[in-house]
Structure 1
Amino acid sequence: MKLSTYGMWENPRLDLVDALVKDLKLDCSKEQIDKALLEPVITEIIDTSYSYQKMLQEKQPELSLKEKTLATYNVALSTMLSTLAKSLNRSETLFRKIYFCIFGFIQPKH
């Protein structure tokens, strides 16, 4: 299944592409990054998030919807970074540092 970010996520995705293109360490074209985000990355995020939600429902049904949503959001961010790095044949560590610099709300793994 191929998914897209058209709609409310389109502008943030394009902002991320532009920010990543500006980082000289990536040495990737805008088209390469855009294609990765539109194909393998968004699809992997949806698949992983769905599986994680299902697991939480089975193993931790007592969690509130808010707790499940936040936990799934963290899994989705991690999935996005690792899948984007893999799709572009780049280090995941580099993407964590870039993402933290751009958005400032996740800590890079050491």
Structure 2
Amino acid sequence: MSLDVASHWLHLHSSVVRGSESHKTIDLSGNPVLRIYYTSRPALFTMCAGNELFYCLLYLFSFSEGPLVGSVGLFRMGLWITAPVALLKSLISVIHLVTAARNLAALDAADRAKKK
């Protein structure tokens, strides 16, 4: 959860420093994962909803397995289904963080070069 917040904060900050109109405005020639994430509403919805559902199920699972579906608890089954989405969302957050850090470093380097 902290990774998601930190990566979004740095991404927002780098967008503001670059002068972008929106943090969702990205360089379409940039990272292909982020391009899909921000240009495909179904992909964005799936990642966000799946990630949130994973954490909700994790909370519920801490109390109970949930109703049985066959021989497996519903919450456990939901965790197995949504875990890959949550892991992918975490990977996207890392990509966000690295991309934003590189953007800020490039802006900083360009700013320093102007001052010399």
Q: TM-score, normalised by structure 2?
A: 0.33
Q: TM-score, normalised by structure 1?
A: 0.34
Higher helix share: 2
**Greater relative CO (CA pairs within 8 A, separation 6+):** 2
